Structure 1
C-alpha cells in the first residue's frame, strides 16, 4: 500500500511538473506568433496587423504561423512563405525595391501634386484681370444692351 501511494505520488508529481513546464513553451510560442503577426498585414482589413485583426483570414493565418513555428520554421521562413503566397503587400513594412516604390513614395508624390495644384490655383487667382479696352467695352455694352461708357472713370466736366 505504501508502495502504491509512492508510485501515485510520483505520477502526480510528474504530471504536475509537466503541466507547469508546458505553458512556458506555449507562452514562448505565443510570443513569437504575436511578434511575427505584428509584422504582417491583414489582407482583409489592410490597415491592421494580423495580431490586431479578428477577420477569419487573419485567424487562419495566425494558426498557420503557429503551426509552422511549432514545426521549427524560422520567423524569416514563415515571412517568405507568406510573401510567396500573398506578395510583398502582406508585409507591414514592405522591402524597398522597384515593385514597391509606389507604396513607399506614392504618398509623397501625391502630396507634391496636391501642393503644386494649390500653388497653381492660387497664382491664377492672384493675377489681376487686365482692364477692358474701348472695343471690348463697346462689345460688352452691346451684349448687355447698355449705352457704352468711356474708358475714363471720371465723368466729363460740364461748363458752368
Structure 2
C-alpha cells in the first residue's frame, strides 16, 4: 500500500512539474518576444535579447520582475519608455519627437544625392573664358587673344 501511495505521489508530481514547465516555457517565450522589441541602451543597434552588456542584463532582470508581478507587455513597455524614453523601443512610434529617427536617414540620403549630382556637373562644365580645352591644350582663340594683348602692350 505504501508503494502504491508513493507511486501515485510520484506520478502526480510529474504531471504537476510538466504543467509548470509548459507554463514556464510560455512565460519564457513571452519574455524573449518582449526583449526582441526592446533596444539595448548601450549597444549599437542591438535588441535587449541579443545584447550581452551589463545594462542589458539589468534591464532583462527588470523586465522579468515586472512580468512576474503580473504586468502586461504594454505596461512593461510604458514603464521603460517613461524611464528611458522612446529610444528603448526597437521600433519607436512615429511622432513629432521621433521624426528625426524615422525620416533623418532619408533626408540625409536625399541631401547627399543632391550634392553628388551638383558637384560633378560644376566640374565638368568648362567656362567660356577658359584658356585650356578639355584635352589640356591651349585653345586657339585664347592663344590669339594672348598674342594680341602682348602685341598691344607698350614697351618700357
TM-score range, shorter chain: 0.7 to 0.9
1:1-160 correspondence runs (5 A) = 2=1, 4-131=2-129, 150-151=144-145
Note the alpha carbon deviations across 1:42-96, whole angstroms, 9 max, x for none: 1111311111111122122122212211221111001001101110001111111
Distance 2:15 2:54 in 1: 36
Does the Cα contact within 8 Å between 1:29 and 1:66 map onto a contact in 2?
A: no
Distance 1:36 1:132 in 2: 66
Q: Tell me by how many angstroms 1:126 deviates.
A: 2.1
Aligned length: 136
TM value normalised by structure 2: 0.79
Moved over 3 A (4+): none
Ranges in structure 1 where 5+ consecutive residues have no aligned partner? 134-148, 154-160
Distance 1:48 1:132 in 2: 55
Distance 2:130 2:30 in 1: 75
90-99 vs 61-70, which moves further: 61-70
Does the Cα contact within 8 Å between 1:40 and 1:90 map onto a contact in 2?
A: yes
Task: Give RMSD over aligned pairs.
Answer: 1.9
Distance 1:28 1:46 in 2: 29
Q: Partner of 1:140 in structure 2?
A: none
Q: Which is greater in Rg?
A: 1
Q: Tell me by how many angstroms 1:21 deviates.
A: 1.4
